[in-house]
Amino acid sequence: MHGAWTIFWREMVKYKRRMMTLFVTIVQPVLWILLFGVALGSTIPEKEGSISYVNFLIPGIIGLSILFSSLFASFNVLLDKEFGLTKEILMSPTSRNQAMVGYSLSGLAKSLIQAFAVLLLGVFLIVSGSEKLVLFGEGEGFFDTFIWFLTFVLIIVIFSFGFLFMAMAIAARMTSHGALQALTTMLTLPLFFASEALYPSREFPFWLAIIAKINPLTYCVRVLQISLLGYDFRYGDNPPFHYEFADIVTGFIMVGLFTLIMFYLAIKSFQKIKLF
Amino acid sequence: MISDVNSVSISEGEEDKEDVIVSVEGLVHKYGDFTAVDGVSFTVRRGEVFSLLGPNGAGKTTAINALIGLLKPTSGEIYLDGINVIKNPEKVKGSIGIVFQETILDREMTVWESMEFHGKLYKIPKEERHEKIWELLELVELSEKVDEITRRLSGGMKRRLEIARALMTEPTILFLDEPTLGLDPQGRVLIWEQIRKVNERGTTMFLTTHYMEEADRLADRVFIMDHGKILISGTPERLKDKLGKDVIFLYLAEKERAREVLEGFDFINEIVEFDKGLEIVLNGSGVPLAPRIMETLDSLKPKLAVDGVNIKRPSLDDVFLYFTGRKIRETDIS
C-alpha cells in the first residue's frame, strides 16, 4: 500500500494548497441547500410532527456532493496523463493498481470533507432558523447515535469509492477534457434527478422508477436519510416515509455491488493506460 | 557520396565484456507498416557518455523507450546491467534513471515536493531521502529554490530538477532524451555542466540529441542514427578525422583567375564557387596549407587581391551531411 499512500500524499499536498478548490466544491452543495432547499421549502407548508424541507434535503445534497466530487476525480488522472506524471508513477516500483487506489483514496478524503461541510452547513441553517433539527436518530441515546453516525460514514465511503472507481475507469481510457466533461455531466444529471435526493420516488412514472431502482444514488440517499432522519419521517404535508432495517441492508448490498463492479473496471482500465 | 561507408564503426578495439552496461542486438521496432528502428546494434560502456545523434524521427526516442522497458520491441535483444530488458522490464526499473523529452513535473508542487514524491514512489527511507534531496539539489544548483512551485521555474531549472530527481534512486545509468530541447544557450550550457558533473560521479549517461554541438561537447562516443539505422559511430574526434578534410574559404573577386592557378595543387581536392569567393576542400590540415595558397596568389602578376580567409575544421554537422547526404532537419524541430 506504500505506493497508494504516496499518491494520496501528493494529492493532499496539492489539495491543501488549493483551498480555493475546496471552497468552490463546497459552494455548489451550499447553493443547492440555500437556493433550492430554502426556495422550494418555502412552498411546503409546515405541519406538526414534520421536519423542514431543508432538513429533508440534507442527505440528498450530501449524496449529490459525493457523486460530483467523486466523478470529478477523473480530471486529476487525466491531467497526470497529459503532463506525463503517470509515466513517472508507473515507471517506479508503484504498481498500476496501487496508483489507482491512491487516486481513489485521495478522492475519498475530499468526499468526506465535503460531506461534513454540507452537514454542518445544513445544521447551521436549521438551527439558526430555530427549526426542529433531526439528526442521527435524535433522542435515542449516545450509543444509537454513534451507530447511526457509523452507518452514515460507511455508506459514504462505499458509495464514494463506487463513483471514484468509475471515474478512474473513465479517465484511464479518455484523452480529451471536453469529452470527459461532457460524459461526467451526462452521467450526473440523470443519476441525480432519477433518485430520491430531492423528492420521494413513489409517484415516479414507470420508466423513471426503473432508473431510480437501478440507481446507486437512490440507495445511498436512502441509507443517508435513515441514518440521519430515522426510519420514520415526513416533511410538510407529504405522506410519511417509512423504512425498515431491511432497507439499510438492501442499500448496502446495492451500493456495494455497484462499487465492486466499478473496482473491477477501474483495475482493468488502469492496466490499459498507454505511457507514450 | 561514398556508398561503402554505411554502418561503419570506428572501433577502438574489442569491447571488454566487464565494461559493457547496455548491449543491444538487432533491435527492430515497427509501428504498423512504419519501421521506426531498423536493426540497430550497439553497446554502452560503463561510465561513458554515450550519445545517439540524429534528426527528429530518426528513431532515438523509440530506441530509448525499448531500452528502459517501456516498449516491447518487434524483435531484437536488449541487456541492461545483465538484465534481459525484454523479458523482465520490471527488473530494470531500479537501476535506471530517465529524463524524458517532454517536461514531466507537477506544475502545482514545489521543487522539494517533486523530489519527495519521487523518493517516496521508490520507497527510499525518510532520512536517506531527505539527505539525498539536499545533496542533489545542491548538485544541480537548485537548493535556493526548494520551496518554489515548479510552474515558476525557468525551462533550464525544470530540466535540472528533472535530472536531480532521476538521480534520487542512484541509477547506474541515466537516460536523457533531448535534454536541452527548447532551452536558450545559457540554459543549455548549464545543463551540459550538470551532465558532466553527474558523469564524473560515476553514472553512465545515455544521451539522445539532434544538436551536433551537444554530442560533440559531451559524448565519449557518438552513434549517428537516421531512418531507424545507425550509420556510423565513434568518438567525435575520430568521426571528424574520418572526414579528414579542412576547408578554406577565400573571399575574393577574381574567382576564375584564382581557380586556374589553384587547380594545379595536388593537396587541393575540390574547388567550389560561392557568391563571395571560393571554397577550397583540402586533403589535409588547413593550417600549413593556407599560407602556401596565400603566397601563391600574392606572387601572381598582376597581384590577386584576397579580401579574407577562413579555415574550417569539419564539424559533426559535416560528418552528418557526409554520411546521410543531407543536413540535419532543423525545420522538423518543434
Mean pLDDT across B282-286: 78
Number of Cβ pairs < 8 A linking chain A and chain B: 54
Query: At residue B329, does pLDDT exceed 70?
Result: no
Task: Say how far apart CA B37 and CA B29 lie, in whole Å.
Answer: 5
pTM assigned to the model = 0.81
Span B260-275, pLDDT tens digits: 888 888 888 888 888 8
For chain A, the C-alpha Rg in angstroms (whole number) is 19
Cell 567550389 -> residue: B272
B31 inside 8 A of chain A by CB: no
A227-241, B31-45, B233-247, range with the lowest pLDDT: B233-247
Task: Say how far apart CA A72 and CA A166 lie, in whole Å.
Answer: 10
Minimum CA–CA partner of B101 in chain A: A84
What is the largest distance, in Å, between two alpha-carbon atoms of chain A? 64
Neighbours of B193 (CB within 10 A): 13
Mean pLDDT across B244-264: 85
Query: Is B190 in contact with B217 (CB distance < 8 Å)?
Result: no
Q: For A92, which of B93, B107, B113 is closest by C-beta distance?
A: B93
State whether A14 and B106 contact (CB < 8 Å): yes
Mean pLDDT across B189-209: 91
Task: Say how far apart CA A262 and CA A171 lie, in whole Å.
Answer: 13
Mean pLDDT across B321-325: 75
State whether B121 and A83 contact (CB < 8 Å): no
State whether B68 and A91 contact (CB < 8 Å): yes
pLDDT at B232: 85
CA of A251: how far to CAs of A100, A214, A225, B37, B104, in Å? 26, 11, 11, 56, 43
Task: Say how far apart CA B5 and CA B229 lie, in whole Å.
Answer: 13
B152 inside 8 A of chain A by CB: no
Minimum CA–CA partner of B70 in chain A: A275
CA of B331: how far to CAs of B55, B56, B256, B327, B334, in Å? 10, 10, 35, 10, 8
Chain A positions touching B94 (Cβ under 8 A) are: 93
Query: At residue B118, does pLDDT exceed 90?
Result: yes
Q: For A84, which of B102, B117, B122 is closest by C-beta distance?
A: B102
Chain B positions touching A275 (Cβ under 8 A) are: 70
Mean pLDDT across B16-32: 86
Chain B positions touching A83 (Cβ under 8 A) are: 104-107
Best of A1, A2, A6 to substitute, by most chain B Cβ atoms within 10 angstroms, is A6
Best of A8, A18, A92, A275 to substitute, by most chain B Cβ atoms within 10 angstroms, is A92
Task: Say how far apart CA A217 and CA B121 lie, in whole Å.
Answer: 35
pLDDT at B327: 60
Instruction: Transcribe chain A into DSSP letters.
Output: -HHHHHHHHHHHHHHHHTHHHHHHHHHHHHHIIIIIIHHHHTTS---TTPBPHHHHHHHHHHHHHHHHHHHHHHHHHHHHHHTTHHHHHHHSS--HHHHHHHHHHHHHHHHHHHHHHHHHHHHHHHHHTTPPP--SSTTS-HHHHHHHHHHHHHHHHHHHHHHHHHHHHHHHH---HHHHHHHHHHHHHHHHHTSSSSS-STT--HHHHHHHHH-HHHHHHHHHHHHHH-SEE-BTTSPPEE--HHHHHHHHHHHHHHHHHHHHHHHHHHHT----
- B74 burial class (0-12, 13-18, 19+ CB within 10 angstroms)? middle
pLDDT at B238: 81
Q: For B104, which of A2, A88, A93 is closest by C-beta distance?
A: A88
Neighbours of A2 (CB within 10 A): 12
B7 φ, ψ (degrees, to nearest 5): 55, 50
Confidence of residue B317 (pLDDT cuts 50, 70, 90): confident
Minimum CA–CA partner of A94 in chain B: B121
Chain A positions touching B152 (Cβ under 8 A) are: none
Chain B positions touching A87 (Cβ under 8 A) are: 70, 100, 104
Amino acid sitting at position A59: P
Query: At residue B18, does pLDDT exceed 70?
Result: no
> Which regions of chain A are under pLDDT 70?
129-134, 137-140, 276
State whether A88 and B71 contact (CB < 8 Å): no
Span B56-80, pLDDT tens digits: 888 888 999 999 988 889 999 999 9
pLDDT at A251: 95
Distance in Å, alpha carbon of A94 to nearest chain B alpha carbon: 6
Span A227-270, pLDDT tens digits: 888 888 888 878 888 898 999 999 999 999 999 999 999 999 99
Query: Is B225 in contact with B58 (CB distance < 8 Å)?
Result: yes
Chain B positions touching A9 (Cβ under 8 A) are: 117, 120
Query: At residue B24, does pLDDT exceed 80?
Result: yes
State whether A84 and B100 contact (CB < 8 Å): yes
Q: For A10, which of B103, B105, B117 is closest by C-beta distance?
A: B117
Task: Say how far apart CA B221 and CA B233 lie, in whole Å.
Answer: 7
Q: What is the 3-state secondary structure (H, E, C) of chain B?
A: CCHHHCCEECCCCCCCHHHEEEEEEEEEEEECCEEEEEEEEEEEECCCEEEEECCCCCCHHHHHHHHCCCCCCCEEEEEECCEECCCCHHHHCCCEEEECCCCCCCCCCEHHHHHHHHHHHCCCCHHHHHHHHHHHHHHCCCHHHCCCEHHHCCHHHHHHHHHHHHHCCCCCEEEEECCCCCCCHHHHHHHHHHHHHHHHCCCEEEEEECCHHHHHHHCCEEEEEECCEEEEEECHHHHHHHHCCCEEEEEECCHHHHHHHHCCCCCEEEEEEECCEEEEEECCCHHHHHHHHHHHHHCCCCCCCEEEEEEECCCHHHHHHHHHCCCCCHHHCC
Minimum CA–CA partner of B120 in chain A: A6
Best of B65, B117, B129 to substitute, by most chain A Cβ atoms within 10 angstroms, is B117
Confidence of residue B8 (pLDDT cuts 50, 70, 90): low
pLDDT at B334: 35
Best of A2, A76, A88, A95 to substitute, by most chain B Cβ atoms within 10 angstroms, is A88
State whether A6 and B100 contact (CB < 8 Å): no
CA A233 to chain centre: 22
pLDDT at A138: 60
pLDDT at B332: 42
Q: For A87, which of B104, B106, B123 is closest by C-beta distance?
A: B104
Confidence of residue B1 (pLDDT cuts 50, 70, 90): very low
Closest CA to A76 of A41, A34, A110: A110
Cell 433518485 -> residue: A195
Q: For B120, which of A6, A14, A85 is closest by C-beta distance?
A: A6
Task: Say how far apart CA A96 and CA B282 lie, in whole Å.
Answer: 60
Chain A positions touching B108 (Cβ under 8 A) are: 14, 17-18
Task: Say how far apart CA B35 and CA B31 lie, in whole Å.
Answer: 6
Chain A positions touching B107 (Cβ under 8 A) are: 83
Q: For B121, which of A14, A18, A94 is closest by C-beta distance?
A: A94
State whether A17 and B108 contact (CB < 8 Å): yes
State whether B113 and A10 contact (CB < 8 Å): yes
Neighbours of A268 (CB within 10 A): 12
CA count, 13 A, side-chain hemisphere, A270: 27
- Helices A96-128/A19-31 angle, 10° precision: 50
Closest CA to B326 of B53, B334, B227, B318: B318
- B4 burial class (0-12, 13-18, 19+ CB within 10 angstroms)? exposed
